[in-house]
Amino acid sequence: MLRSLTILLTTVLMSFPVLVSAQDQGPHAMLESAITRMTARIDQERSKLEADEQYARQVVNEELDGLIDFRRITQLVMGSHFGPSSREQKLRFLDVFRSSLVNTYASGLTMYKGQEVRVLPAAEGDINQGRARVRTELHTDGGRIIPVSFSLYQSKQGPWLVENVIVNGLNLGRTFRSQFEQSAEQYGGDLDQVIANWSTEIDVEQVVEPENASAASN
């Protein structure tokens, strides 16, 4: 189950920053072009990626640059704990959150073996005032289709950046924020313990099983 989600996030999320300089492209065209490029890179470098975990993490780090505003994501995930936290805690969580994502995606790089990811045409309202929704479909090895929606915003510098992902109704941004809140309760509000024990791993049973997926809005 985790395999299908990792394939999707690795293939799509990591491929996005390569074309951020192409500001004449809309978010849909940019994402579709990037998927083609990244899947080709995985195929071309598969042997090295499989043999060298450090290189796989390096590739992920390179591809994540220009994709995610980690300061923005840190504030979203920490929620009500962001304001009271110290600057040092904010920076430490930013680093831990990014490292956890890098390790997750690096471990899944070579899981991609030709699975189709379709970018659906833009519908009315998908792009509005510097924000966009890009709907995609992941075709799994077993023949299933998993709907995935990417939320993006256009930064002041021009590129479109992914700020959230909804996989088959599961809002990952909200899931991580809820995870942080629950962890804060578990450790009695000790944010140092929350940060030290953070992991981006989630229970994805509901992600790939439609009958168990709880609906979530954008």
In order, the DSSP letters of 16-39 are GGGGTT-TTS-HHHHHHHHHHHHH
Measured at the alpha carbon of residue 188, what is the angle toward residues 187 and 193, in degrees to the nearest 5?
35
- At 10-32, the pLDDT tens digits run 655 554 444 344 445 678 877 77
* Cβ count near 133 (within 10 Å): 19
What pLDDT is attached to residue 52?
92
The listed range with the strongest mean pLDDT (97-101, 117-121, 131-135) is 131-135
The total number of residues written for the chain in this structure = 218
**Residue 207: band (very low, low, confident or very high) from pLDDT cuts 50, 70, 90:** very low
Grouping H, G, I as helix, E, B as strand and the rest as coil, residue 130 is: coil
Report all structural domains of the chain as residue ranges with CATH numbers, in order of start: 2-198 (3.10.450.710)
Contact call for residues 105 and 10 (beta carbons, < 8 A): yes
Going by the DSSP 8-state scheme, the letter that residue 126 receives in this structure is: S
Sign of the C-alpha dihedral computed for residues 83, 217, 103 and 153 taken in this order: negative
Where b means 16+ CB within 10 Å and e means fewer, 71-109 reads eebbbbbbeebbeebeeebbebbbebbbeebbbbbbbbb
Structure confidence at residue 78 (pLDDT): 96
pLDDT, residue 57, reads 86
pLDDT tens-digit profile of 170-206? Answer: 888 898 999 999 999 999 999 999 999 998 765 444 4
